[in-house]
Each structure stands twice: as C-alpha cells, then as structure tokens.
Amino acid sequence: MVLDARVTDYDVLRVFCGPRGEYGNELGVVRDGSVLPERDDRQALAAKLGFSETVFVDDPERGVIDIYTPSARLPFAGYPCVGVAWLLDVPELVTPAGVVGTRLDGEFTWIEARAEWAGPRTLRRYATAAEVDALPVPEPGEWLYAWAWEDEAAGRVRARGFPGRGDGVEEDEATGAAALQLTAQLGRALNIVQGQGSQLLTAPQPEGWTELGGRVLLEN
C-alpha cells in the first residue's frame, strides 16, 4: 500500500506545553484507526509523519489506542496518552500495556499509569541544569534521559531526552514515560521542564501508580 499522509486525516496536538501555551511535543492522532487497520501501514504512516509518536484511535468511546514511533510500535507511551486523553475526553484509555486512567483538571490533563510500562532508558543525573542544557545530541544507541535538579526542595527538574533510535528524532521535546520512571525512582512529585521549555507534572499514587499531567493544545 502506498501511503499519502495528505489523504489520511489526522490531528496534530502539542502535549506538555509551557505556561503560555508555548513548546510541547507534537503528536499525530489518526482519530479513525479503521482507515489503516494493518500494523505495517500504520508504521509506514508514522515514519512518513515523523512525529516522536503517532496514535491510531481504534475505539474512541472505549479509548482503545495504538501507538507508534517512526520506527516501532509501543505498548505504552506517556505524552501520546496525555494528548489523546485530552482529545477524546474519556475516563480511561486502553493500551497493550494496560488500562490508563484519565482526568481533566482545568488547564491540565492527567493520566494514571505505571512506570514499568515504559520502555527501557537510561536515567542519568547531572550536577547542574547548565550541564544538561549544554549536552550535545549523542550518537544513536541508548535511550538517554538526562536530568538535574533546578530546585530539589521544590521538586523542580531540568531534563532532556535523546531516544537514540536513529529514526530522525534526535531529541524528544517532552517524554512522559521517562517522567514516570524518574518519579518512581525518586518517590516524589516532580515539576519537570524538558527540551526547549515543555512542562510535565507528576505525582506518586498508591500501589505503584503515578499521575502524569500537562497542557495540551490542538495545532490543526
């Protein structure tokens, strides 16, 4: 099948925007997943669009979704779930990893998920936020989440994410799954600024769950 992104309807959201609606990670959402039911075709469209992730909605009422990077299918990812939770306004999302709880709270959209659902990545702490800011994009290899405290007492973190996949996404502007993992590792609520200025909020919950929240805007 030859894919043409121009004839496949999709929305573009920005997820984890800053306080004034700036920044955020672009997300492609195909609201009618039935137009591309085959995994190979979905993967091809995700590669063509080139977003960090693209989501296919297979059941908008039940919140059943399917998530792809430009090079792989994911059982779960944080920022796609936050974005689709805002778009569909449903109480939960169904992913291959598990059921994700969702809620809208003013300007923030929240999901509740588990850190172990996220794919493997290296969480590497640096001494200062300036060191994180100065990092060059590493060669393809490990998925690196570089972070440092901006204000440890207040739970404020500076972070950057480097997928290392070699699929054209050199730096991830906002990475919800990594935020979940860091929150689980530190055991406390965090206010994370990632990339150019995207904002992610987290809060540990009982029995190994974590809430992840942020602002979402519709680009088109």
Beta strands 99-105; 108-114: pairing state: antiparallel
Is residue 112 in some structural domain? no
Number of domains composing the chain: 2
pLDDT for the residue 168: 86
Residues 136 and 200 in one domain: yes
pLDDT for the residue 5: 52
Final residue of a structural domain among 75, 104, 133: 104
In sequence order, what DSSP letters do the residues of 88-141 get, joined into one string? H--SEEE-SS-EEEEEEETTEEEEEEEGGGSPP-EEEE-S-HHHHHTPPPPPSS
Q: At what angle do helices 78-88 and 176-186 cross, to 10 degrees?
A: 110
Mean pLDDT by 10 residues, the chain (220 residues): 61 97 97 96 96 97 97 96 97 98 96 96 98 95 96 98 90 96 98 97 97 95
Residues pairing with 66 in the sheet: 56
Burial class for 90, CB neighbours closer than 10 Å (0-12, 13-18, 19+): middle
Residues 71 and 148 in one domain: no
Q: Are 149 and 156 in contact (CB under 8 A)?
A: yes
pLDDT for the residue 14: 97
pLDDT for the residue 4: 55
Strand ranges inside 106-177, DSSP E: 108-114, 122-125, 144-151, 156-162
The tens digit of pLDDT for each residue in 150-174 reads: 999 999 999 999 999 888 889 999 9
Burial class for 127, CB neighbours closer than 10 Å (0-12, 13-18, 19+): exposed
Q: Are 214 and 17 in contact (CB under 8 A)?
A: yes
pLDDT for the residue 151: 98
Q: Are 55 and 63 in contact (CB under 8 A)?
A: no
Q: Are 137 and 170 in contact (CB under 8 A)?
A: yes
pLDDT for the residue 150: 98
Is residue 20 in some structural domain? yes
Is residue 11 in some structural domain? yes
User: What does the alpha-carbon distance between residue 148 and residue 142 come to, in Å, rounded to a whole number?
Assistant: 19
Residue 103 CB neighbour total at 10 angstroms: 15
**Tokens found for residue 12:** 């573009």
Q: Are 75 and 168 in contact (CB under 8 A)?
A: no
Q: Coil, strand or helix: which one is 29?
A: strand
Residues 199 and 151 in one domain: yes
pLDDT for the residue 3: 53
Rounded to two decimals, the pTM is: 0.93
Residues 127 and 100 in one domain: no
pLDDT averaged over every residue in the chain: 95
User: What does the alpha-carbon distance between residue 86 and residue 196 come to, in Å, rounded to a whole number?
Assistant: 22
**Tokens found for residue 145:** 């989440």
Domain limits at 90? 5-104
pLDDT for the residue 2: 45
